[in-house]
Amino acid sequence: MLVSEKTIERLCLYRRFLRELRVQRTTYAYSHQLAKMAGLTAAQVRRDIMAIGYYGSPVRGYEVEKLLESISDFLDGPDSLGVALIGVGNLGRSILAYLNRRNSRLNVTAAFDTNPEKIHRVIVSCHCFPLEDYPRVVREKNIHSTIIAVPADQAQPVADLIVKSGVKGILNFAPVHLSVPEEVFVENIDMAIALEKVTYFAQQDNKARAER
Amino acid sequence: MLVSEKTIERLCLYRRFLRELRVQRTTYAYSHQLAKMAGLTAAQVRRDIMAIGYYGSPVRGYEVEKLLESISDFLDGPDSLGVALIGVGNLGRSILAYLNRRNSRLNVTAAFDTNPEKIHRVIVSCHCFPLEDYPRVVREKNIHSTIIAVPADQAQPVADLIVKSGVKGILNFAPVHLSVPEEVFVENIDMAIALEKVTYFAQQDNKARAER
DNA sequence: CGGTGTGAATTAATTCACAGCA
DNA sequence: TGCTGTGAATTAATTCACACCG
């Protein structure tokens, strides 16, 4: 089943909303309600849901619990997934705090740094290992994805280490393009570029539509 | 001149590379070199550069200094631009540190929080004001864009305040969709979703191409 | 009715491929 | 020859619009 990157992203969003709805004891939701929450069109939502082969009822819409389960079955693999973080500076620590505080099953379970002062300390309930232990810990903790939060000039060697260790997903906060083999998925979060973009569009009084 | 969001993003990237090239005293660059640095095709780079009306030489490629100037003229407005940050928690502070440490002319010049312990302290060389001063400081410091780094449940009211104060660009780190009038540009950085996406594609051994 | 599912149409983004030039 | 600039083709993403259904 081939689903586009954009659709995957939106499915993750819908899942978040569905969890909220479940908490509020809402049992059914229409595509236009989900669309409203996500800032999308109803047709888009229906298309995305179609992509995972779930079917709603034309009269009541989508059953929250069931749709949630379908999306999760689709997104989550069978095995539980470990996430590592490399680079325990300011940014790394706050990413760690941010992600591990959420209820998600995606928790960062191992951190790595080269700074001897950080090694073997526990940071936001996550043990910090020396970087050279990465390949071993990847095996032991079943790490599938790794977050890069090191300075720009160290990002490529770190990425090489990640790839060599067999990890296939990278979330990269360093402002550089990483060269990796094509079976490795890289998502870049470049805060400086994002801010420049916002500033550009803030100046244009704004015909260019966008926002997601 | 109407330029797509994606193109703007890439222009910001090229600018970064051009600055690096300038530091290394490189005077000319070919589209395929820029493409390599950005992980794109050469045709894409040429299209983007076309969009801003700059012309390279078919024999030497693009003149680094000149192209840099053209891109900057295009991206940066005439007036210098202030950026504010709302929410001086862990995440906010590390965003601040990250952005203000770069040489960019886009510096965060004012921070805001409601926590009395943070107010009127200086955080990463940036004064922290009480949130209610936001409209005033926006005027005084010529703020055009604002970064939201508050908890999810406070993001919408904060966005409303931003909009009411006449600011037209928002960089939103809170995991919620913001409702704003359509002349206001919102860029979302949702770290939790980004990680879920990476994890999804890390599992698929990976036919779905992507990465930017 | 007011929903869903979806083929068809549209619009956006990217890539191809080649003329033209020094 | 090896680049740029760009029309044309292609591919991807989104939206339209309507059949169908309880």
The pTM for the full model equals 0.95
Q: Please list the ranges in chain B whose pLDDT falls under 70.
A: 1, 205-212
Q: What is the pLDDT of residues A150-165, one digit of tens each?
A: 999 999 999 999 999 9
Which residue(s) pair with B113 in the sheet? B130
Q: A197 falls in which pLDDT band (50, 70, 90)?
A: very high
Instruction: Report the pLDDT value the prediction gives residue B205, as an integer from 0 to 100.
Output: 65
> How many angstroms away from the CA of B196 is the closest CA of chain A?
7
Beta-bridge partner residues of A30? none
Average pLDDT over residues A48-69: 96
Q: How far apart, in whole angstroms, are the C-alpha atoms of residue A143 and residue A165?
A: 10
Instruction: Collect all residues of chain A within an 8 Å Cβ-Cβ radius of residue B16.
Output: 175, 192-193
CB B90 within 8 A of CB A100: no
- Chain B partners within 8 Å of A3 (Cβ): 208
H or E stretch covering B11: helix B5-23
Evaluate whether A45 touches A33 at the Cβ level (below 8 Å): no
Beta-strand relationship, B169-172 and B185-188? parallel
Point out the residue nearest to C2 (C-alpha to C1').
A59
**Residues of chain A contacting B182 with CB distance shorter than 8 Å:** 206, 209
Q: Both tokens of residue A35? A: 């669309």
User: By the 8 A CB rule, do B21 and B29 touch?
Assistant: yes
Which residues sit close to strand D, CB under 7 Å?
A 4-7, 40-41, 43-44, 47, 58-59; B 30-32, 42-43, 46-47, 49-50, 54-59, 61-62
- Pairing type for strands A108-113 and A82-86 reads parallel
Residue A205 has a pLDDT of: 65
CA geometry: angle A178, B199, A16, nearest 5 deg? 125
CB B109 within 8 A of CB B47: no
From B16, B145, B183, residue closest to A195, measured CB to CB: B145
3-state secondary structure of B120: coil
Nearest to A210 among B5, B94, B104 (CB): B5
Could you say which nucleotides of strand C lie within 7 A of any protein CB atom? 2-7, 12-17, 20-22
The spacing between the Cα labelled CA in B160 and the C1' in D7, in angstroms, equals 45
Instruction: Evaluate if residue A100 carries a pLDDT over 70.
Output: yes
Asked if residue A172 has pLDDT above 50, the reply is: yes
Taking a C-beta distance cutoff of 8 angstroms, is the pair B112, A202 a contact?
no
The alpha-helical segments, DSSP class H, found in A129-209 are 134-141, 152-164, 191-203
Q: Which amino acid is at B62?
A: Y
Token duo for residue B57? 């030489």
DSSP character for B152?
A: H
Token digits for B200? 């999804």
Tell me what pLDDT residue A104 has. 78
Of B77, B106, B212, the CB nearest to A195: B106
Residues B91, A75: C-beta atoms closer than 8 Å: no
The pLDDT value given to residue A171: 98
Token representation of residue B136:
């005033």
